[in-house]
Structure formats: structure tokens, C-alpha cells
């Protein structure tokens, strides 16, 4: 191995030397934050009496502005820093990386082939459920009374194959990250050189002693991001919430048995506001804006397959206060190689009671959602970050939550469609007309026929919610039609109505719901497009 010192910059003068010691100072402690890390290195060295140099090599890039050096058992008299290039034989490591890359590529190719086969089977099964000739031929041979069970069997077969595809997608995402990291290591290895920093500490010992040196500094090449795993247990109506730290080490140096602490900091920073007077003026006519349909469906977030089970991972001990923030020490030392790969370590877990309800929002795509409400009674907030939702261990979705769930905060979230409840909404054609003999009024009427069907073997309660148009001025009158709502202005939302039904086992409920709008003749309405 050949080592060449490229730069040596004297920061402080050093006296005549008695001995040089080549030492190592591994990372022993790490306090991780979302965008940086505070690292601690330590070393111990026996020193005879006199003036000495401690040469610490193999260091990554350091933030010298934050570097702090403390020496016990001797006096620090000077510091020099420089860079070194190390040339080494990398042929063995290159062969290992090539073999690992080939094996991973073959595994991913086999999974891709399995996806294609399952997708082909799904298309075939779906054709049986549709109007394709092969579907008609199959069901022509099945007694009518068995159509329902046959339909259900085909649906379950589709779900099973789709679940297998989804699970392989999760694995494939992680494998792709691993493959990218291996390829990057292979590319970097081809250079056969590494660049590192050296620190030379000049110390003075009045007598023979055991010196202990501590180096502390900040780096932006390491940190952690929060991930939240929320798993609904529908059988006992509890929710298991797990906070997972995704720890990254890109310092260029592998960590071995590092005592690690997570720093829980606020999700963001807010500047002090600049108060301005609140001025109210008379409105002036504005150009007509693009109108939104009452039928508009709220967009669902895009989800990625990136979830690894954390049940077998060790949990962290209780958090400790550190100024205004909280810090959570990990229960076991952390070993993490440098690179794009990351460690996923659970640091907080709780099983909390949940209130489970079923709700349908009739102005959106007809569906009955499982809705869970739970309260954060944990000793820590659940930090902002990616959220993975599961129902009975089955992954549903992944999205990013921008705000933390504070201690004591009540949380409400959807856990997807309830597969045992069906809802059908059929809109009658809207009707327009005029009324009145002297003072003419225009009218607009709209009705929905709603049918709710339960496939549960027990009574089940369902909440249906819909929006009643709200008059924007005194010349408009809105009257609800059909079945009267059980609640009006739900959650203080103007016009939001709620109907509550308790369906018996296998029961069905049908009703009409709608409204009539009256407004001055000759005028036109906005906000009712699509009716």
C-alpha cells in the first residue's frame, strides 16, 4: 500500500518532537438529525513524557469549522491537517461486487417473469367477470343461484394474484436500491484510489500517561428521515403505530458499533410574521373563473412500494429531554456501511385503541370507507414523513405527511374501501323550470337514488355524507329533498349532511336524496355544472 501526503497546513506551531504515533479514531457516537449528524471519535494512547505527534489517518471530509478536539492526560499544543491518497489492490473486491450484481439481476429478472404470469392470469379472470365471450360461456354452464359464489371466487383469485404482484413490487424496490448501491461501489472501486484526511495532533505529556482524545464535529453526509407505519387490526379495533428511522451514512467511512441517538426536531422553521393592516374594500366585478363540478373527485396521492417489516427490529428506550427537543437513544449500537443503502430502525412503537366507523362521501366516487380515529397517547409526537398504511397486515398505500401528530392529538384517517359493503348511486336527470305568476323564479332540481347493501353476517352501522348546496346570496333558496338527514352542518361544515343506517346481516337500504334551488328568473347559476 502506497500513501502520499498531498497537503499539510500548520494551524498552530508545534515544539520539538520526541515520538510519533500512528493512531486511529473510529466513530463511537452519533447524534443524528434530519439534515446533519454530530459525530464523536475517540482514541486512547499511552505516552511517555515529552512532546509527541498523534497522526490520525483515514478520516473522511470534516466540517473543520465545527471541529472540537479535547485531550485528557496530556496538553494539546497544535493541530495540523492534510489529505492523503491511498492506492490499493481492488481486484478481489471487484470480483465480489460483480458476483453480487449478477445474482441480484437474475433474482429481479425471475420476479419480473412471475409478475407477467400473474398479470396474464388476472386479465383472464377479469374477462370471465366481464362481457367477453369466454366469460359468457363459463357462466352459461353455472346455475344462476351459484353465480354470486362463483363471482366471489374469481374476485378472490384476482386479489390473491394482485397481492403477490404488490408484494414483489415492495421487494423489487428495495432490491433496486441495493443494486444501484452495488453498481456505484463498483464504479468507485474501478479508480483503485481513495482520498482521505489526516489530522496531526501535537501533544505534550509532563509524565508518562494514558492520553484520551475526543474529536467532535458536524457533517451533512449523514442523518435520518422519519417513516410512519400505521397498521389497523380490524378484529380488535386497535392500531399499531411504529416510527421507523431511515438512517443514512454517506461519509465515505463504514460505522462499526456506533452508539446512536436520534434527535427529534420540529418539522420546519417559521419566521416571525410581519403584521400588516387588514383592509376591507367594496368588491368589484371579477372575470368569471373556471368552475368546478360538484361531481369532482378528490385526487388520491401517488404511492410507492417501499415497506419493510420492522417487527423483528429492536426498539429504542424511553426518550430523554435535550433543551427544547427530544432525543431517543437506539437500544443497540449501529453498524452501517457508507453508501446509498440505509438502515431502517424502529425507535417508537405503540398499540392504541381505535374507533372504527364506515363512511361514504356521496359527492365522490361511490364507496364505503373504513375510517379509523385514534388519539396519540404516546410520550412522543409522531413526526412528519412518509406514512405507510396497512390493514390487517396488508399494505394499502403510502403518502407523505407534512405535519407531525402531536401528543394528545386526535387523528382520523381512511383505511380503504370496506369490501363487504356496496353502495350504488344513480342520478336522476336534473330538471329546470320556472314558477310564480307575478314574480318569476327559476328552479333547478336534482335527485340521487342510493342503495346500500351489506354482506356482513352481523348488524353494521354506516354513515353516508353528502353536500347540500349553500346559497351564496339572499336571492337564492336551497331546499333539501328526499329523505331528511339525521345531522346538518356536520363538523361545522356548512351544508354537510349525514345519514346513519344500521343494516342487519345481509341487509339493504334504499332512499332518495337531493335538493331544489330557486333563484331569480333570467339569472344563471354557477357551481352546478355537471348536474
Q: Residue 498 has what pLDDT?
A: 93
Mean of the pLDDT values across residues 223-249?
A: 92
How far apart CA 239 and CA 228 sit, in angstroms, is 12
Across all residues in the chain, what is the average pLDDT? 78
Same domain for 408 and 376: yes
Is 69 part of a structural domain of the chain? yes
User: For the chain, give me the number of helices (H) and strands (E)?
Assistant: 3, 28
Is the pLDDT at 291 greater than 90, yes or no?
A: no
Q: Residue 157 has what pLDDT?
A: 80
Same domain for 203 and 185: no
Rank 84-98, 208-222, 271-285 by mean pLDDT and report only the highest.
208-222
Same domain for 397 and 256: yes
Same domain for 461 and 349: no
Mean of the pLDDT values across residues 295-313?
A: 33
Is the pLDDT at 22 greater than 50, yes or no?
A: yes
Is 338 part of a structural domain of the chain? yes
Is 432 part of a structural domain of the chain? yes
Count how many Cα atoms sit within 13 Å of the Cα of residue 287 in the half-sphere of its side chain: 2
Same domain for 231 and 138: no
Is 166 part of a structural domain of the chain? yes
Percent of residues, the chain, with pLDDT higher than 90: 31
Q: Residue 232 has what pLDDT?
A: 92
pLDDT tens, residue by residue, 472-500: 787 888 889 999 999 998 888 888 999 99
Q: Residue 11 has what pLDDT?
A: 45
Same domain for 376 and 316: yes
Same domain for 346 and 227: yes
Q: Which pTM was predicted?
A: 0.60
Is 285 part of a structural domain of the chain? no
Residue ending a domain, among 379, 396, 419, is 419
Q: Which residues span the domain enclosing 254? A: 222-267+304-419
Is the pLDDT at 287 greater than 70, yes or no?
A: no
Query: Which of 132-136, 167-171, 383-387, 389-393 shows the lowest mean pLDDT across its residues?
Result: 132-136
Mean of the pLDDT values across residues 3-18?
A: 43
Between residues 258 and 158, the one the model is more confident about: 258
Q: Residue 239 has what pLDDT?
A: 92
Is 273 part of a structural domain of the chain? no
Is 350 part of a structural domain of the chain? yes
Query: Which of 280-289, 304-313, 490-499 shows the lowest mean pLDDT across its residues?
Result: 304-313
Same domain for 463 and 391: no
Q: Residue 307 has what pLDDT?
A: 34
Is 299 part of a structural domain of the chain? no
Q: Residue 340 has what pLDDT?
A: 72
Residue ending a domain, among 419, 445, 477, is 419
Mean of the pLDDT values across residues 80-100?
A: 74
Same domain for 59 and 46: yes
Residue ending a domain, among 377, 399, 419, is 419
- Are 385 and 368 in contact by the 8 Å Cβ rule? The answer is no
Query: Which of 44-53, 72-81, 309-318, 394-403 shows the lowest mean pLDDT across its residues?
Result: 309-318
Is the pLDDT at 80 greater than 80, yes or no?
A: yes
Q: Which three cell numbers stand for residue 36?
A: 446533519
pLDDT tens, residue by residue, 402-418: 888 888 999 999 998 99
How far apart CA 274 and CA 271 sit, in angstroms, is 9
Rank 19-33, 84-98, 142-156 by mean pLDDT and report only the highest.
19-33
Is the pLDDT at 377 greater than 70, yes or no?
A: yes
Count of structural domains within the chain: 4
Between β-strands 75-87 and 193-205, what pairing exists: parallel, antiparallel or unpaired? Answer: antiparallel
How far apart CA 61 and CA 125 sit, in angstroms, is 58
Same domain for 178 and 207: no
3-state helix, strand, coil in the chain (%, to 5): 20, 45, 35
Same domain for 252 and 347: yes
Best CA proximity match to 348, nearest among 391, 322, 375, 318: 318
Query: Which of 11-25, 141-155, 275-289 shows the lowest mean pLDDT across its residues?
Result: 275-289
pLDDT tens, residue by residue, 119-132: 888 887 777 655 44
Same domain for 511 and 408: no
Between residues 439 and 284, the one the model is more confident about: 439
- 457's CB contacts (< 8 A; 6+ apart) are 505, 506
CA distances (Å), 91 to each of 95, 176, 190, 253, in order?
6, 24, 9, 20
Q: Would you place residue 516 in the very low, low, confident or very high pLDDT band (cuts 50, 70, 90)?
A: confident
- Are 175 and 106 in contact by the 8 Å Cβ rule? The answer is no
Q: Bridge partners of 511?
A: 450
Is the pLDDT at 321 greater than 60, yes or no?
A: no
Amino acid at each position: 500500500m502506497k500513501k502520499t501526503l498531498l497537503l499539510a497546513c500548520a494551524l498552530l506551531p508545534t515544539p520539538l518532537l520526541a515520538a510519533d504515533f500512528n493512531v486511529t479514531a473510529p466513530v463511537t457516537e452519533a447524534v443524528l438529525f434530519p439534515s446533519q449528524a454530530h459525530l464523536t471519535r475517540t482514541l486512547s494512547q499511552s505516552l511517555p513524557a515529552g512532546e509527541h505527534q498523534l497522526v490520525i489517518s483515514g478520516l473522511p471530509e470534516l466540517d473543520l469549522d465545527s471541529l472540537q478536539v479535547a485531550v485528557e492526560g496530556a496538553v494539546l499544543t497544535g493541530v495540523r491537517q492534510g489529505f492523503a491518497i491511498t492506492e490499493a489492490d481492488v481486484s478481489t473486491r471487484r470480483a465480489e461486487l460483480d458476483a453480487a450484481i449478477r445474482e441480484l439481476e437474475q433474482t429481479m429478472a425471475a420476479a419480473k417473469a412471475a409478475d407477467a404470469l400473474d398479470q396474464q392470469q388476472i386479465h383472464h379472470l377479469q374477462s370471465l367477470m366481464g362481457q367477453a365471450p369466454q366469460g359468457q360461456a363459463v357462466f352459461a354452464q353455472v346455475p344462476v343461484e351459484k353465480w354470486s359464489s362463483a363471482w366471489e371466487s374469481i374476485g378472490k383469485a384476482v386479489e390473491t394474484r394482485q397481492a403477490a404482484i404488490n408484494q414483489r413490487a415492495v421487494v423489487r424496490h428495495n432490491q433496486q436500491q441495493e443494486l444501484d448501491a452495488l453498481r456505484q461501489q463498483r464504479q468507485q472501486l474501478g479508480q483503485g484510489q481513495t482520498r482521505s484526511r489526516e489530522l496531526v495532533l501535537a501533544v505534550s505529556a509532563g509524565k508518562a500517561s494514558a492520553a484520551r482524545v475526543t474529536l467532535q464535529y458536524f457533517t451533512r453526509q449523514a442523518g435520518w428521515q422519519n417513516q410512519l407505519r400505521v397498521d389497523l387490526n380490524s378484529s380488535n379495533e386497535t392500531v399499531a403505530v411504529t416510527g421507523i428511522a431511515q438512517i443514512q451514512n454517506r461519509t465515505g467511512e463504514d460505522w462499526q458499533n456506533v452508539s446512536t441517538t436520534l434527535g427529534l426536531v420540529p418539522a420546519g422553521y417559521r419566521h416571525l410574521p410581519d403584521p400588516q393592516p387588514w383592509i376591507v374594500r367594496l368588491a368589484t366585478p371579477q372575470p368569471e373563473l373556471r368552475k368546478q363540478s360538484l361531481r369532482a373527485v378528490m385526487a388520491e396521492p401517488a404511492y410507492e412500494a417501499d415497506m419493510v417489516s420492522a417487527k423483528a427490529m429492536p426498539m429504542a428506550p424511553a426518550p430523554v429531554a435535550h433543551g427544547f427537543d427530544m432525543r431517543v437513544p437506539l437500544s443497540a449500537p449501529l453498524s452501517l456501511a457508507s453508501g446509498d443503502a440505509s438502515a431502517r430502525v424502529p425507535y417508537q412503537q405503540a398499540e392504541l385503541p381505535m374507533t372504527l366507523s364506515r363512511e361514504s362521501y356521496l359527492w365522490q366516487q361511490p364507496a364505503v370507507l373504513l375510517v379509523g380515529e385514534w388519539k396519540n397517547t404516546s410520550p412522543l409526537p409522531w413526526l412528519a414523513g412518509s406514512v405507510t398504511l396497512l390493514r390487517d397486515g396488508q399494505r394499502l398505500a403510502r403518502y407523505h405527511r407534512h405535519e407531525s401528530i402531536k401528543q394528545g392529538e386526535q387523528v382520523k384517517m381512511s383505511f380503504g374501501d370496506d369490501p363487504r359493503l356496496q353502495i350504488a348511486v344513480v342520478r336522476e336527470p336534473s330538471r329546470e323550470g320556472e314558477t310564480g305568476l307575478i314574480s318569476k323564479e327559476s328552479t333547478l332540481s336534482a335527485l340521487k337514488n342510493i342503495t346500500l347493501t351489506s354482506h356482513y353476517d352481523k348488524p353494521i352501522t354506516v354513515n353516508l355524507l353528502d353536500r347540500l348546496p349553500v346559497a351564496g346570496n339572499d336571492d337564492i333558496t336551497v331546499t333539501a329533498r328526499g329523505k331528511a338527514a339525521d345531522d346538518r352542518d356536520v363538523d361545522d361544515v356548512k351544508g354537510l349532511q349525514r345519514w346513519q343506517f344500521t343494516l342487519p346481516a345481509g341487509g339493504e337500504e334504499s332512499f332518495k336524496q337531493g335538493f331544489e334551488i330557486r333563484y331569480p328568473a333570467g339569472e344563471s347559476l354557477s357551481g352546478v355544472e355537471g348536474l
